């Protein structure tokens, strides 16, 4: 067993700013170096009636880890110094602390073995803490499921300042922690994860096509292929407006980029693709063989071309401003509807990131973890509206957010229903919020809670009622306590 303990350096966690310059600030920022510091912080805040916001990597889409919409006084508990990664090759497990980034986790695992990896998100600056609290979807999901499907233990500081593990938490609490969303069930300080096998050579490709040529047909076919093909192949789509040069000048058009990670060699990949997706016209020259850890850097667009060592340096993403919403699709969208959708996106300057489900994701029962979007879901969509710093004025921000909301509304006929699903790690306060100043209400919270968790929401609320009945760990979308009069 090896222990990596990082130096206490001038680390900066990424802060994705909220729109308004008047966003409430914390009364203090506490940066624990030891678990006992976390325990003291929780006990003090509970005693003085202060709300606590827990930040691991700071990537929450709505900033819930470092600000409070309700303007209630809060302390920010920043876990960025709790980031050790202990890899145990014998058991193929790792204890990783919540303040580590995914990039650090991937890097330190790769330093011990070139055939072990971990299924989690594609952005290396995301924090382990927030990501594992909400699920953890990435390019290994079709092969191995979500991050939380591979969590075997966790250490958590509860509302009374106790440190608990899987055994002392008990079955329901441990279930809730693995995907029930951050900030509800305690401060998870570390996670024990199962590492997964990755071959020494993987193959990637990234092809861009204009949607007005045969791109729409490719997207249409992709809907049938990507969720059903071998679990070793992950193909996602980025659909985005781009400027094209034409004789008369330049104009905007929609483009699809087809990105893939294949757990095998180029020859094996070409054989599969020519069989199931010949329309793609994939050729050997489009494919690059590399190690799995190199593919992590390849798909971190702002790091592409750099050495894998960059992952251990916790490089911050370029600062950006955005609003994201999410959906699940259960039936392929017809071609004419796709063409209509491209028009909406072009008009709104909106990008779509479309990620396939199927494979292992469908084999896991929807009640096994709080993440319920399993069998029957073909893919998930993120609607991404980004804008530049200079556009940051409050009015501009409202305009951009309005555009993404409008496209989301128009998408209703093509996406999951009753409830319309959303992914809790793609936090979206438009779906509904608690009123923390006036007390969270289970009945009202069902409106947004069932979108994230479907039938699992009730069980999450019951667990919350058992482990934190006074709702100490709370934010705008934390799980409200449901206290039952008799045991369930």
CA distance 319 to 55: 17
The torsion of the CA quartet 192, 197, 201, 202, rounded to 10 degrees, works out to -80
| 167 burial level (CB within 10 Å; 0-12, 13-18, 19+) | exposed
How far apart are CB 357 and ligand FAD at their closest, in Å?
A: 13
CB 93 within 8 A of CB 194: yes
Task: Enumerate binding residues for ligand FAD (CB under 6 A).
Answer: 16, 53-61, 64-65, 79, 98, 121-123, 126-127, 129-131, 133-138, 182-183, 187-188, 317, 425, 475
Select 371 or 442, whichever has its Cβ closest to ligand FAD. 371
How far apart are CB 1 and ligand FAD at their closest, in Å?
A: 23
With b for 16 or more beta-carbon neighbours within 10 A and e for fewer, the 259-294 pattern comes to: bbbbbbebebbbebbeebbeebebeeebbebebbbb
CA distance 302 to 162: 40
Select 328 or 342, whichever has its Cβ closest to ligand FAD. 328
SS3 399: helix
For 30, phi and psi rounded to 5 degrees? -105, 130
CB 232 within 8 A of CB 245: no
How far apart are CB 206 and ligand FAD at their closest, in Å?
A: 16
Residue tagged 């699709």 (tokens) = 329
Name every residue whose Cβ is closer than 8 Å to that of residue 485 and which is 6 or more positions away in sequence: none
Select 57 or 465, whichever has its Cβ closest to ligand FAD. 57
How far apart are CB 453 and ligand FAD at their closest, in Å?
A: 15
How far apart are CB 313 and ligand FAD at their closest, in Å?
A: 17
Select 76 or 338, whichever has its Cβ closest to ligand FAD. 76
Select 211 or 466, whichever has its Cβ closest to ligand FAD. 466
The torsion of the CA quartet 362, 363, 369, 370, rounded to 10 degrees, works out to 20
Select 240 or 425, whichever has its Cβ closest to ligand FAD. 425
Select 59 or 221, whichever has its Cβ closest to ligand FAD. 59
Both tokens assigned to 348: 């709104």
Select 6 or 182, whichever has its Cβ closest to ligand FAD. 182
CA distance 476 to 158: 19
How far apart are CB 326 and ligand FAD at their closest, in Å?
A: 10
How far apart are CB 456 and ligand FAD at their closest, in Å?
A: 17
CB 353 within 8 A of CB 235: no
Name every residue whose Cβ is closer than 8 Å to that of residue 129 and which is 6 or more positions away in sequence: 54, 56, 57, 79, 98, 99, 182, 188
- Residue number with the shortest CB distance to ligand FAD? 182
Select 153 or 279, whichever has its Cβ closest to ligand FAD. 153
How far apart are CB 17 and ligand FAD at their closest, in Å?
A: 12
Helices vs strands, H then E, count in the chain: 14, 18
How far apart are CB 263 and ligand FAD at their closest, in Å?
A: 18
């Amino acid at each position: 067993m090896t222990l990596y303990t990082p130096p206490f350096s001038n680390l900066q966690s990424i802060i994705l700013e909220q729109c308004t310059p008047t966003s409430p600030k914390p009364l203090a920022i506490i940066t624990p170096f030891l678990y006992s510091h976390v325990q003291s912080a929780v006990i003090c805040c509970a005693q003085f009636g202060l709300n606590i916001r827990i930040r691991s990597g700071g990537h929450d889409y709505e900033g819930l880890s470092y600000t409070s919409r309700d303007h209630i006084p809060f302390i920010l508990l920043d876990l960025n110094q709790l980031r050790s990664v202990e890899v145990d090759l014998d058991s193929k497990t790792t204890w990783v602390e919540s303040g580590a980034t995914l990039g650090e986790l991937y890097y330190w695992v790769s330093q011990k073995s070139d055939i072990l990896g971990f299924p989690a998100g594609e952005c290396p600056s995301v924090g382990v803490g927030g990501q594992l609290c909400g699920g953890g979807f990435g390019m290994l999901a079709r092969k191995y499921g979500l991050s939380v499907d591979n969590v075997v233990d966790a250490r958590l500081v509860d509302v009374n300042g106790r440190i608990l593990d899987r055994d002392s938490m008990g079955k329901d609490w441990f279930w809730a922690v693995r995907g029930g969303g951050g900030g509800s069930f305690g401060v998870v300080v570390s996670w024990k994860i199962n590492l997964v096998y990755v071959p020494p050579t993987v193959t990637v490709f990234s092809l861009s096509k204009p949607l007005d040529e045969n791109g729409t047909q490719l997207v249409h076919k992709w809907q049938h292929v990507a969720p059903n093909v071998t679990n070793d192949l992950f193909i996602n789509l980025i659909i985005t407006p781009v400027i094209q040069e034409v004789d008369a000048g330049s104009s905007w058009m929609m483009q699809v980029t087809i990105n893939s990670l294949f757990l095998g060699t180029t020859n094996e990949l070409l054989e599969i693709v020519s069989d199931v997706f010949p329309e793609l016209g994939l050729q050997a020259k489009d494919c690059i063989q590399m190690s799995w850890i190199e593919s992590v850097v390849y798909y971190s667009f702002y790091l592409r071309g750099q050495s894998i060592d960059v992952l251990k340096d916790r490089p911050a993403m370029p600062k950006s401003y955005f609003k994201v919403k999410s959906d699940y699709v259960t039936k392929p969208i017809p071609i004419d509807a796709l063409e209509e959708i491209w028009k909406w996106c072009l008009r709104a300057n909106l990008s779509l990131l479309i990620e396939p489900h199927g494979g292992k994701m469908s084999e896991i029962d929807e009640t096994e973890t709080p993440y319920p979007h399993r069998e029957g879901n073909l893919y998930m969509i993120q609607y991404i509206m980004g804008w530049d710093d200079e556009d940051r004025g409050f009015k501009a921000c409202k305009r951009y957010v309005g555009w993404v909301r409008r496209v989301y509304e128009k998408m209703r006929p093509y996406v999951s229903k009753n409830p319309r699903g959303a992914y809790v790690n793609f936090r979206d306060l438009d779906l509904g919020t608690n009123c923390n100043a006036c007390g969270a209400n289970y009945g009202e919270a069902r409106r947004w809670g069932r979108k994230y968790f479907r039938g699992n929401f009730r069980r999450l609320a019951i667990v919350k009622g058992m482990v934190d009945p006074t709702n100490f760990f709370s934010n705008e979308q934390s799980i409200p306590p449901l206290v039952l009069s008799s045991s369930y």
